[in-house]
Amino acid sequence: MKSPTIMVSGRQLPPLFLLAIVLTVGNASRAEETTTPGATPVSERAQTAALDQNDSEALFKQGKAYSTGIGVQIDEAKAFEYYHKSAELGNPKAQHNLGVMYAKGTGVKQDEKEALIWFHKAAEQGAMLSQHSYACMLKEGKGTEKNAAEAAVWWRKAAEQGNAESQYRLGNLYLLGDEGVKEDIQEAKKWLEKAVVQNHVSATNDLAIMYENGTAGKVSLTEAFRLFQIAAEGGNAKAQASLAACYAAGNGTTKDLAQAYRWAKRSSDQGEATGTNLWDEFRLGFKKEQIAEGEKLAAEDMKSGKK
């Protein structure tokens, strides 16, 4: 059987030359499919399609990908772009993240007024974290005039959804009172207790103080000690100083000067002034063996990574 031939300008081309032409054309075609100058990568085409489709969830996920570096390189400017588009379509998660970016100046120029706007939009849709963030900005007067009463409204909304930080802030607000918010010890105790159940150490410390001074309804040094110990173990420097004072005086527990030294030092190591004052006092007034034992306990804490 004869090999196939082809005539070009009256000349017969050899079979091998014909094969080379076929391979060259085929390779060129395949190269064009993947490397045509200016071609958009598949992932970029998918992103553009999401924009065109006005799919708020797809836009949010793409923004999150750029924000966290999942599947793409981290690009805060692009994350902002996708979050903004999704937020404009009403996505509360994107609205919250957009608020965070405006508040921190990440991927966009810092703008507290814009942050407040987007937190409010998400908060109105029931987004718990946005309700908390919006309340914080109102209380601190960021992006708007300070409004403690309105902050209490939004902290309550988040607190009722179980946000421990909002429960603590609301309890603390009622404990101290503020412009437009009357002091209410029972409300303070109620919300602090809810935060304590969720292991919020600052709330635990505040509740301990209420039992120590009687604002919780009665003085209970035993309960105060118990709560100070929980908060201190959780790393709260103020509680550590209070726990040191409890051990030094024997309030709510057996007097233990080595433990008093230990907790005063741990508090001081975190920069708490009260803890430093106690530690200085203990170093001057305690016996050498009490100091040595306290130093040993504090060193063991540090070795185990405890604050």
Residue 277: its pLDDT value, please?
A: 98
Residue 51: its pLDDT value, please?
A: 56
Write a three-state SS string for 170-217.
HHHHHHHCECCECCCHHHHHHHHHHHHHCCCHHHHHHHHHHHHHCCCC
Residue 242: its pLDDT value, please?
A: 98
Residue 301: its pLDDT value, please?
A: 93
Domain residue ranges of the chain, discontinuous segments joined by +: 202-307
DSSP-derived 3-state class of residue 46: helix
Residue 29: its pLDDT value, please?
A: 35
Classify domain 202-307 by CATH number.
1.25.40.10
- Which amino acid is located at 104 in the chain? K
Residue 17: its pLDDT value, please?
A: 38
Beta-carbon contacts of 83 under 8 Å, excluding residues fewer than 6 positions away, are: 59, 60, 63, 67, 94, 97, 98, 101
DSSP-derived 3-state class of residue 12: strand
Residue 44: its pLDDT value, please?
A: 55
> Over the chain (307 residues), what is each successive 10-residue block's mean pLDDT?
48 44 37 36 52 82 95 96 96 98 97 98 98 98 97 98 98 94 96 98 98 94 98 97 98 98 97 98 96 96 90
DSSP-derived 3-state class of residue 114: helix
Model pTM greater than 0.85? Answer: no
Contact 189, 208 (CB under 8 A): no
Q: H-helix or E-strand containing 164?
A: helix 164-176
